[in-house]
Amino acid sequence: VAFLGPPGSGKGTQGARLASLWGVPHVSTGDLLRQILLDEPHSELARAVRVIADGRMVSDETAGEIVARELERPEAARGFVLDGYPRNVRQACALQAFLGEQPPGAPPPHSLDGVIALVVREEALLHRLAGRLTCPNCGASFHLQDDPPAAEGVCDRCGHRLVTREDDRPERLRTRWQLYHERTEPLIGFYRERGLLREVDGEGAEDEVFDRVRRAAAKRGTDWR
């Protein structure tokens, strides 16, 4: 299954929960990119990833290579949850080619059973992102009002100091949403045409949203149409 949704829609959290429910890997490009910079800072791949520091996107080729490496692992043989990939139609085509372009409903691992698109209004996104606190060490995220850490400004998971990501500042949010509308939103039509799309209301408490995600994700194969 792959997740789609604008920045702040909660697809990372929901994707991780679904993967853990199913006992399959949560393949998050954000987490993978962080991990590559930590584990293999001098590799060719790390050099290609470092463009993010200049505010650029990782190339389609690099993103594809990183995801393919994860999907080829034996842990992914029973299935996987993709989060942050594909980000545009070109990447979606590359993924489809990689997965062997089998029809929906073919047994895993070499097919996508469905795509969950989280739908959230822009005002709700702004509230979420403007209050978001992120741990630069382990990637955990909190919210000033909705999900504050136990100790102010400190990560519950690893004890590191929390920060507001550059990316979550209002002026950067506009740019991120614009990028999403231009490049990623066309994927909604792309997957609808292929009978794989499930739109899920992404507003409300995390548990409520997860209930909807779980119900949508339980429908497989031709049920997705």
Verify binding: residue 138, Zn ion, rule CB under 5 A.
yes
Does the annotation count 78 as an active-site position? Answer: no
Residue pair 165/132 in contact (Cβ under 8 Å)? The answer is yes
φ/ψ of 32, rounded to 5, equals: -65, -40
Does the annotation count 73 as an active-site position? Answer: no
Q: For residues 165 and 192, which CB has a smaller minimum distance to Zn ion in the complex?
A: 165
Q: For residues 105 and 139, which CB has a smaller minimum distance to Zn ion in the complex?
A: 139
Q: For residues 110 and 157, which CB has a smaller minimum distance to Zn ion in the complex?
A: 157
Does the annotation count 176 as an active-site position? Answer: yes
Between residue 149 and residue 178, which ones bind Zn ion under the rule CB under 5 A?
Answer: 155, 157-158, 160
Nearest approach, Cβ of residue 135 and Zn ion (Å): 3
Q: Which of 34, 172, 176, 192 is catalytic?
A: 176
Alpha-carbon span 72 to 110, nearest angstrom = 10
Q: Give the count of beta carbons closer than 10 Å to the beta carbon of residue 155.
A: 22
Q: How far is CA 119 from the centre of its chain?
A: 14
Of 25-33, 49-57, 104-112, 140-148, the segment contacting Zn ion by CB under 5 A is: 140-148
Beta-strand relationship, 132-134 and 26-28: unpaired
Verify binding: residue 135, Zn ion, rule CB under 5 A.
yes
Q: Which tokens go with 155?
A: 């990560």
Alpha-carbon span 222 to 180, nearest angstrom = 28
How many residues of this chain interact with Zn ion, rule: CB under 5 A? Answer: 8
Where along the sequence are the contacts to Zn ion (CB under 5 A)?
A: 135, 137-138, 140, 155, 157-158, 160
